[in-house]
Amino acid sequence: MPGFGRGEAALVRGAQAGSVADLEALFREHWPRAYRAAYLVVHDAAAAEDIAQEAFLAAVRALGRFDRRRPFGPWLHRIVVNRAIDWARARQLRREVGDEPADLPDPAPARPRNPYSAGVIAALAALSPEHRAVIVLRHLLEYTPGEIARLLDLPRGTVNSRLRRGLDELAERLGPEDAT
């Protein structure tokens, strides 16, 4: 699990006490991973931005009631990843019925900026949203399978099998290590 040390608890306490600086520190700490996690599940920059942004807004709205004994990150990541899975499923459904993907002609081109990204994104895109989510939670956000099971309300065995199958498919699509 990522580091939820005393520093984070102090930032949450500060933000609850009305400190904008502490809120900003909390945001800067968590935004990059939240946004990246959403992006790796949905593969749509605009949707990922909305999903991560909405998770932070939910956090800000609930800040006064937030239990400081609980770590902030897992709570945020749970919202982000579940929203991202819902969004990706909905998009798949639209494709199944013959429509084009919904979101969105964004001004920024929705294309990764380096060749490493392109390969990984394409390989991830071949997996289901559920498989992408567990891989992102395990290998980007560094949760243990047990923690992932709790975050997604899944049996631990399901998490393990999704991880195994997802990684096998990724390996097959990405080829040997020197190719990436």
Partner 1 sequence: MTDERVRRLLRRAAPPGELDAERRAWAIIRAAYDPATAARPRAWPTRPLIALAAVLALVAAALSPPGRAVGGWVRDAIGRERVAGRPDARAALASLPAPGRLLVVSRRGTWVVSEDGSKRRLGAYADASWSPRGLHVVLVRGPRLVASTPTGEIRWTLTRRPRVLAPRWSPSGFRIAYGVRGTLRVVNGDGEPDRAVAPLAVPGSWAWAPGADRHLLAYATPGGAVRLLDVDAGRARWAVRGLEQPPRKLVWSADGKRLVALADAVVYVFDARGRLLRSQPPPLGSAQFVDTEFARRGHAFAVVARHMAGRTRVVLLDAERVPAGPRLVFNGEGRLSRVSWSPDGRWLLVTWPSADQWLFLRMPRVGEVRAIADIQREFDPGGGRTGTAPRPVGWCCAP
Footprint (CB under 8 A) of partner 1, residues 28-87: 28, 31-32, 35-36, 39-40, 45-54, 56-57, 60-61, 63-65, 83, 86-87
CB count, 10 Å around CB of 147?
Answer: 18
Please work out the total of residues on this chain that contact partner 1, with binding judged by CB under 8 A: 73
Q: Considering only residues 119-148, where is the footprint of partner 1 by CB under 8 A?
A: 119-121, 124, 135-136, 139-140, 142
Comparing CB distances to partner 1, the nearer of 9 and 110 is 110
The reply on whether position 102 binds partner 1 by CB under 8 A is yes
Beta carbon of residue 81, minimum distance to partner 1 (angstroms, whole number): 13
Tokens representing 82? 């579940």
C-alpha to C-alpha distance for 139 and 134, rounded to whole angstroms: 8
Q: Which is nearer to partner 1, 6 or 61 (CB)?
A: 61
Query: For residue 32, what is the enclosing H or E element?
Result: helix 20-42
Which H, E and C letters describe 57-79, residue by residue? HHHHHCHHHCCCCCCHHHHHHHH
Nearer to partner 1, 149 or 170 (CB): 170
Please report, as a single letter, which amino acid is at residue 177. E
